[in-house]
Amino acid sequence: MKRYSAFAIAREAMRHHEGWERAWASPEPKRKYDVIIIGAGGHGLATAYYLGKNFGITNVAILEKGWLGGGNTGRNTTIIRSNYLQDPSAAIFEKSRSLYETMSQDLNMNVMFSPRGVMMLAQTEHEVRGWKRTAHANALQGVTTEFISPRRVKELCPIMNIDGPRYPVLGALWQPRGGTARHDAVAWGYARACSAMGMHVIQKCEVTGIRSEGGKVRGVTTSRGDIDCDKLGIVVAGNSGHVANMAGFRLPLESVALQALVSEPIKPCMDVVVMANTVHGYMSQSDKGEMVIGGGTDGYNNYTQRGAFHHIEETVRALVETFPMISRLKMLRQWGGIVDVTGDRSPILSKTPLENCFINAGWGTGGFKAIPGSGWGFAELMARGHSTLCDGFELDRFREGRFVDESVAAGVAH
Ligand SMILES: Cc1cc2nc3c(=O)[nH]c(=O)nc-3n(C[C@H](O)[C@H](O)[C@H](O)COP(=O)(O)OP(=O)(O)OC[C@H]3O[C@@H](n4cnc5c(N)ncnc54)[C@H](O)[C@@H]3O)c2cc1C
């Protein structure tokens, strides 16, 4: 793979851009691989990348029923933070955030990581106590956050109305090195790096069945024929329950639609990410100038990738209270993704009842930020059978009552 560089851009400019090679290959599936990953979203691709980079396992296929990054990875609002309450969450999300810091260099692809700072507003006394508690927990975990005053909130985000009629801003949990990144580029960067290691990223290849023998995984049945493997990773987000069913076990999660929208582009007016959990809305400004807005999940299970209209109305209504200036903006696009939500709002990174079959699921509404950390830990789990980053996120926890309860810290927040 040729490296992207300023020199390469200058050279290609002289050659009318005819010398660029394809970013990743489109190979035909082989009959057998050491490892198959189902799902070419960020988590599946990152897992494959770290299997190769950290463990030298490169006879790997990543099978994708649509196009890579076409699931939630290419549909999210790209918020990156690691200000979680529980220790296992802080460990994996902070590992992930730190990997984002050097991702562009590691992958030789500009993923536009922008550590502009994330604030989570406190708009009730309950939230003030909750965020202060999280700030103390983060201090013990080595995650840099602080609880800031309303005046500091206003300094950091002048367009905010902190005296809101229903819910005045009482402070915020501030993570200065949180931020955003370009979601497509994260998927493309990992795919390109996997392809360069000789792995097969195979698009338009839907897994329709999982084959096993003597309680061990043997391979998968796909829309492009049967493919064998020694180890299998299921990394399919909103389709997790469906694919786990093919492997013969059930998952304690629900699939629901979550949506987002963007406004017309405007001049720079906001250089931080703001999350308002009480009124339920999130906003940041993209490099193009669009205001990127996220809201809540549908209240019922579905696989539509669209979401109910009343959510857009509620989200915008909530944000207009805190950001009155957006009342004059036109909204350009709206879309949805299917997120898989567990009871304790924490992911599942685990072995399964089927030997050599592993599951990475349940990232719900907040898994974009976890892509590199999850890939790092899940690759180790698949290669070695254990990873400290995955400790606590086993499937058994739901049977044994060992929840990693993030519903206070994360709820349905991104
Ligand atoms: C509107 C919205 C906003 C969000 N905002 C944020 C945010 O701000 N910050 C944040 O951290 N997270 C956010 N998230 C969550 C985040 O997007 C997801 O947690 C994350 O992208 C999940 O990545 P993934 O790789 O697990 O799944 P995906 O990207 O969905 O990849 C799974 C892939 O598996 C494929 N697949 C499924 N079934 C099969 C099959 N049978 N055979 C082959 N392939 C299959 C799918 O086509 C898909 O491409 C948001 C999500 C949505 C929908």
Pairing of strands 60-63, 200-202: parallel
Q: What percent of the chain has pLDDT over 90?
A: 88
Please state, as a whole number, how many other Cβ atoms lie within 10 Å of the Cβ of residue 320.
Answer: 18
The alpha carbons of the chain give a radius of gyration, in whole angstroms, of: 21
pLDDT for 402 equals: 94
Pairing of strands 290-301, 253-265: antiparallel
Exposure on the CB side of residue 73, measured as CA atoms within 13 A: 28
Q: Best substitution site from 81, 210, 236 to test ligand 1's pocket, by max atoms within 8 Å of Cβ?
A: 236
- In angstroms, what is the span from residue 238 Cα to ligand 1's centroid? 7
Confidence of residue 18 (pLDDT cuts 50, 70, 90): very high
DSSP string, 348-392: EEEE-SSBTEEEEE--TT--GGGHHHHHHHHHHHHHHS--GGGTT
Judged against a pLDDT cut of 80, whether residue 407 lies above it is answered with no
Residue 87 corresponds to which tokens in the numbers above? 């220790």
Nearest CA to ligand 1 atom 50: 76
Helix axes 371-384, 42-55, angle to 10 degrees: 50
Q: Best substitution site from 72, 188, 297, 334 to test ligand 1's pocket, by max atoms within 8 Å of Cβ?
A: 72
- At 381, which amino acid appears? L
- In angstroms, what is the span from residue 67 Cα to ligand 1's centroid? 12
d(CA 285, CA 267): 9
Q: What is the DSSP letter of 142?
A: T
Tokens 């093919």 correspond to 246
Residue 348 corresponds to which tokens in the numbers above? 């599942």
Please answer whether residues 381 and 358 qualify as being in contact, where contact means their C-beta atoms are separated by less than 8 angstroms. yes
Confidence of residue 60 (pLDDT cuts 50, 70, 90): very high
3-state secondary structure of 284: strand
At 231-285, the pLDDT tens digits run 999 999 999 999 999 999 999 999 999 999 999 999 999 999 999 988 888 999 9
Phi-psi domain of 78 (left: phi exceeds 0; alpha: psi -120 through 50; beta: other): left
- In angstroms, what is the span from residue 41 Cα to ligand 1's centroid? 6
d(CA 52, CA 137): 34
Sequence-ordered list of residues with C-beta below 8 angstroms from that of 36, at least 6 positions apart, any chain: 60, 61, 62, 63, 219, 220, 227, 229, 231, 232, 233
Confidence of residue 142 (pLDDT cuts 50, 70, 90): very high
d(CA 385, CA 378): 9
What are the pocket residues of ligand 1 if the criterion is a CB atom closer than 6 Å to any ligand atom? 38-44, 63-66, 70-73, 75-79, 206-207, 235-239, 243, 258-260, 294, 337, 339, 363, 365-369, 414
Least reliable range by pLDDT among 56-60, 97-101, 182-186, 301-305: 301-305
Q: Best substitution site from 76, 113, 220 to test ligand 1's pocket, by max atoms within 8 Å of Cβ?
A: 76
Ligand 1 atom with minimal separation from the 206 CA = 42
Phi-psi domain of 86 (left: phi exceeds 0; alpha: psi -120 through 50; beta: other): beta
pLDDT for 365 equals: 93
3-state secondary structure of 304: coil
Nearest CA to ligand 1 atom 13: 366
Residue 304 corresponds to which tokens in the numbers above? 């539509």
- In angstroms, what is the span from residue 334 Cα to ligand 1's centroid? 16
At 71-98, the pLDDT tens digits run 999 999 999 999 999 999 999 999 999 9
State how far the alpha carbon of 26 is from the alpha carbons of 61, 186, 204, in Å: 11, 19, 10
- In angstroms, what is the span from residue 154 Cα to ligand 1's centroid? 33
Domains of the chain (ranges, CATH numbers): 31-109+183-252+344-400 (3.50.50.60), 118-179+255-342 (3.30.9.10)
Please answer whether residues 182 and 219 qualify as being in contact, where contact means their C-beta atoms are separated by less than 8 angstroms. no
Ligand 1 atom with minimal separation from the 235 CA = 26
Confidence of residue 318 (pLDDT cuts 50, 70, 90): confident
Ligand 1 atom with minimal separation from the 363 CA = 19
Tokens 């009959």 correspond to 31
Ligand 1 atom with minimal separation from the 259 CA = 1
- In angstroms, what is the span from residue 339 Cα to ligand 1's centroid? 7
Sequence-ordered list of residues with C-beta below 8 angstroms from that of 310, at least 6 positions apart, any chain: none
Phi-psi domain of 385 (left: phi exceeds 0; alpha: psi -120 through 50; beta: other): left
Confidence of residue 310 (pLDDT cuts 50, 70, 90): confident
Nearest CA to ligand 1 atom 51: 76
Judged against a pLDDT cut of 70, whether residue 306 lies above it is answered with yes
Bigger pLDDT: 411 vs 87 = 87
Q: What is the pTM of this model?
A: 0.97
3-state secondary structure of 210: strand
